[in-house]
Structure 1
Amino acid sequence: MQPFRIALCQVRAGDIEEPERNLQNILRALDAAGEAGAQLVVLPECSYPAYYLKNASPYERADVRDFEEVSALFADAARRHGYWLAAGMAVPHSHGKLTNSAVVFGPDGEGRGRYDKSFLWHFDSNWFERGREFPVWDAGFARFGALICADGRQPEIARSLALHGAEVILDLTAWVSSGRESAQLSNTQCEYFMPVRAFENGVWVAAADKWGTEAGSIVYAGRSLVIDPSGVTRVCAPSDEESVVVYDLEPMVVGIVPRRPALYRTLGEPAVGQPTMKVLSEPLVPALANRRVAVVPSNGTFNASTIAARYRELRAQDADLVVFGGEDGPEGWQVELPALEAAVREAGGALVLGVATTGCSAHQSTVLITPEATIEHNATHGRGIQLGAAPSPVVPTPVGNVALMCGDEGFVPEVARGLMLAGADLVAWAAFRPHPMLDAIVRTRADENRIFVAAAWEDAAVVAGPTGALLAVSPRGSAVAMTATVNKALSRMKEMAPGTDVVRNRLPEAYGALLR
């Protein structure tokens, strides 16, 4: 990758009944991007003719220009200004269906292909068919791929683009929002999903969104932005006005946690055979499923008697599961486990603890202790440690089916994804050292899998619900334990929107790159 300038055209949304106004806004924004010296330009999702199409035949309307005519106008803008253009368009096909696509034009005005939205959102499926390929374009100055809006909620899509060589991921989006003040609108994708996608893949992310409303019921968040490979948002547009966001991207090398594709076999298997499908069909009375989970920041050094005393205190406060942050311990620390096992047998519930050792046999482990058994899971991902050979088991507990993550495993989206597919309702993550992305990663892992995530590390802890909402957050540096109510019924509701299911709408046959 070489330094280059990108422009994100945040155009005002318009109804399908006003396509010409939409088009003229777009053409003005494309000229402004060219005048700013952009080398790569991005338009939002379905910039033309609109996002909410009302039916599958938008180009049959008398006031909507032909797809070919509009494409020629976009191609002309790319040619006149000499930039690459990724344009969000509803693309008609000869078999009568549409795709929600990023249509890519080169600086010579020639069409270079398209990406079709894969993870269709809500009424998308009424008129769009989904894409199944994840192309990457080489612009000379950078290799880029594209995803579209809800695609950012599925970790496999951005990961596939990165594995195909993308250094920059374009997000052609239509982030919806709600709020009292237009200037304060936001969306979970710009808050944590897309920063995490940049961070976990070590790529730049550039998202172009609309602003305003469509159909009197769809409100857009604006917030077109550029995120660097460390997950830091470099520039962000307001939510309530037209804007052409211009930013100069530069090469930036960040280290990501190495992948282990041999452990991801289940990600390529059909949903029908996944253990989670059996879990989702189990009868359940939600009113009887409320439980309490506690998270406890670590104080840095493993001490079994201190942990046992803290555990008993939290059990007295009705915590059914207590997750302690990762501690540093000596080799052979397992000899102190009987004290913790005794506390759990006496008080009931379940305890999770992470321990890291250094030296010749450096490793990181997370332990789950229930009255019936003690399970030790060795971290399968990380740097400078001996790696475990298998993912965590999924264990029935009073709070639901619990699985474990240890250390850097949470930074790798395939790990939590596999645990959800294995039937986990809650993932207990014992992390070790603070990191600026940890809160965002916890929320993303919970939201993208529709599970609970309870995480604790040095001086901080958090519980996130299946929608990514923060249910409990410890004051930084306080070592205060926090509790939250969880209900496994919520983790078994896998629809993000009507007809948009995080399990049933995956495309495992398209995720071959993840397994290679």
Structure 2
Amino acid sequence: MNKFKVALLQTDVCDDKEKNIENAVRLIERVSKEGADIAVLPEMFCCPYNSSLFRAYGENEGGAAYTAMSKAAKDCGIYVVAGTIPELKDNKVYNTSYVFNRNGIQIAKHRKMHLFDIDIEGGQYFKESDTLTSGGDVTLFDTEFCRIGLAICYDIRFPELSRLMAAEGAEVIIYPGAFNMTTGPAHWELSFRARALDNQVYTIGVAPARDLEAMYHSYGNSIVASPWGNVLSRMDEKEGYIIQEIDLDYVKKIRNELPLLKHIRKDIYKLLKSK
């Protein structure tokens, strides 16, 4: 199959974990009925984006959010990229994205590699490393459509990671994210277009809706960029969803017409993945 549909679920996130999960399930059910093959949720879709809350809202693998997403995938017959969930493991907290297939079986898991520690004068201060532990795996998963790469938010700023995923066969890269009102207007669209263009892949970014009463103000603007670097779909700051068709023949077309991945000078430089 050369085409499939991805639903970007830009959910409101409140301080009630159960309500956040129920809202996510409701939207998964809705987009599955509208023909979506894959549903993607935002970073920390079940938890306010506040590092002081990550442990309190966290769960072991197989917890409430995990189980609900697995069940929704099975009940709706849809792939679910379950945004991210604060994962508790060995007294550590990870920012973790799980992927479930149409039967509700976990087929991938990515722990955010690069932790968001910034201090911008006159702008945003945030330090994820106060609470979170970083992951260390490059994550891809296979579907009947294509191979898909998975990373989380700040991971997109490190082009080596997306290039590794493209080199291992990714034609689409998905990033649950939550850029803020300092970094979002400056770099959100630019980052997704750049990584799409660099690697001739579709890039998909899904963020929470903006809540100005929350401590952290998400930029929203969930987005899909094409292998040519064009923006195909983009939301505003409000809760909602979009369903975007992904045409894999277009990936092949762009890679044939402008074969930059074949022009990499491996005789001069190499990008190596640690064993």
Q: Same fold (TM over 0.5)?
A: yes
Alignment equivalent of 1:246, drawn from 209, 223, 243: 243
Partners of 1:145 and 1:102 in 2: how far apart?
A: 12
Partners of 1:200 and 1:65 in 2: how far apart?
A: 36
Counterpart amino acid of 1:175? F
Alignment equivalent of 1:37, drawn from 30, 35, 38: 35
Q: Map 1:9-24 to 2 at 5 A.
A: 9-14=9-14, 17-24=15-22
> Secondary structure, in 3 states, of the residue corresponding to 1:57?
helix
Q: Which residue of 2 aligns with 1:86?
A: 81
Counterpart amino acid of 1:25? N
1:136 pairs with 2:140: yes
1:76 pairs with 2:71: yes
Partners of 2:225 and 2:137 in 1: how far apart?
A: 24
Q: Map 1:238-317 to 2 at 5 A.
A: 238-239=236-237, 241-251=238-248, 252=250, 253-254=253-254, 255-257=258-260, 258-264=263-269
Gaps of 5+ in 2: 118-126
Partners of 1:53 and 1:169 in 2: how far apart?
A: 26
Counterpart amino acid of 1:10? Q
Compare relative contact order (CA 8 Å, sep 6+) and give the higher one, 1 or 2: 2
Query: Could you tell me whether the CA contact under 8 Å between 1:59 and 1:65 is conserved in 2?
Result: no
> Secondary structure, in 3 states, of the residue corresponding to 1:190?
helix
1:3 pairs with 2:26: no
> Secondary structure, in 3 states, of the residue corresponding to 2:48?
coil
Q: 1:4 to 1:151 in 2, by over 3 A?
A: same
Q: Which residue of 1 aligns with 2:158?
A: 154
> Secondary structure, in 3 states, of the residue corresponding to 1:88?
coil
Residue 231 of structure 1 and its aligned partner are, at CA, apart by 0.3
Q: Map 1:348-497 to 2 at 5 A.
A: none
Residue 86 of structure 1 and its aligned partner are, at CA, apart by 0.8
Partners of 2:219 and 2:166 in 1: how far apart?
A: 26
Partners of 1:204 and 1:45 in 2: how far apart?
A: 19
Q: 1:18 to 1:65 in 2, by over 3 A?
A: farther
Counterpart amino acid of 2:175? D
Query: Could you tell me whether the CA contact under 8 Å between 1:56 and 1:126 is conserved in 2?
Result: no
1:112 pairs with 2:107: yes
Partners of 2:230 and 2:154 in 1: how far apart?
A: 21
Q: 1:67 to 1:189 in 2, by over 3 A?
A: farther
1:58 pairs with 2:56: yes
Paired-residue identity, %: 24
Residue 167 of structure 1 and its aligned partner are, at CA, apart by 0.7
Count of residue pairs brought into register by the alignment: 258
Query: Could you tell me whether the CA contact under 8 Å between 1:49 and 1:58 is conserved in 2?
Result: no
Partners of 1:203 and 1:212 in 2: how far apart?
A: 27
Counterpart amino acid of 2:244? Y
Residue 113 of structure 1 and its aligned partner are, at CA, apart by 2.4
Partners of 2:189 and 2:207 in 1: how far apart?
A: 14
TM-score normalised by structure 1 residue count = 0.47
Residue 201 of structure 1 and its aligned partner are, at CA, apart by 0.2
Query: Could you tell me whether the CA contact under 8 Å between 2:108 and 2:140 is conserved in 1?
Result: no
Counterpart amino acid of 2:245? D
Q: Name the Cα RMSD after superposition.
A: 2.4
Residue 85 of structure 1 and its aligned partner are, at CA, apart by 0.9
Counterpart amino acid of 2:95? N
Per-residue CA deviations over 1:232-277 (Å, capped at 9, x if unaligned) read: 00111112x1111101111212124221234336x66xxxxxxxxx
Q: Which residue of 2 aligns with 1:171?
A: 175
Partners of 2:217 and 2:53 in 1: how far apart?
A: 20
Partners of 1:215 and 1:100 in 2: how far apart?
A: 23
Per-residue CA deviations over 1:271-310 (Å, capped at 9, x if unaligned) read: xxxxxxxxxxxxxxxxxxxxxxxxxxxxxxxxxxxxxxxx
Q: Which residue of 2 aligns with 1:197?
A: 195
Q: 1:27 to 1:197 in 2, by over 3 A?
A: same
> Secondary structure, in 3 states, of the residue corresponding to 2:97?
strand
TM-score normalised by structure 2 residue count = 0.85
Q: Which residue of 1 aligns with 2:123?
A: none
Partners of 2:53 and 2:150 in 1: how far apart?
A: 25
Q: 1:43 to 1:56 in 2, by over 3 A?
A: closer
Partners of 1:115 and 1:19 in 2: how far apart?
A: 21
Partners of 1:235 and 1:211 in 2: how far apart?
A: 16
Query: Could you tell me whether the CA contact under 8 Å between 2:111 and 2:134 is conserved in 1?
Result: yes
Partners of 1:174 and 1:100 in 2: how far apart?
A: 12
Gaps of 5+ in 1: 179-184, 269-510
Query: Could you tell me whether the CA contact under 8 Å between 1:198 and 1:231 is conserved in 2?
Result: yes
Q: Which residue of 2 aligns with 1:227?
A: 225
Q: 1:101 to 1:256 in 2, by over 3 A?
A: farther
Query: Could you tell me whether the CA contact under 8 Å between 2:6 and 2:37 is conserved in 1?
Result: yes
Partners of 1:228 and 1:262 in 2: how far apart?
A: 29
Counterpart amino acid of 1:21? K
Q: Which residue of 1 aligns with 2:46?
A: 48
Partners of 1:65 and 1:25 in 2: how far apart?
A: 21
> Secondary structure, in 3 states, of the residue corresponding to 1:230?
coil
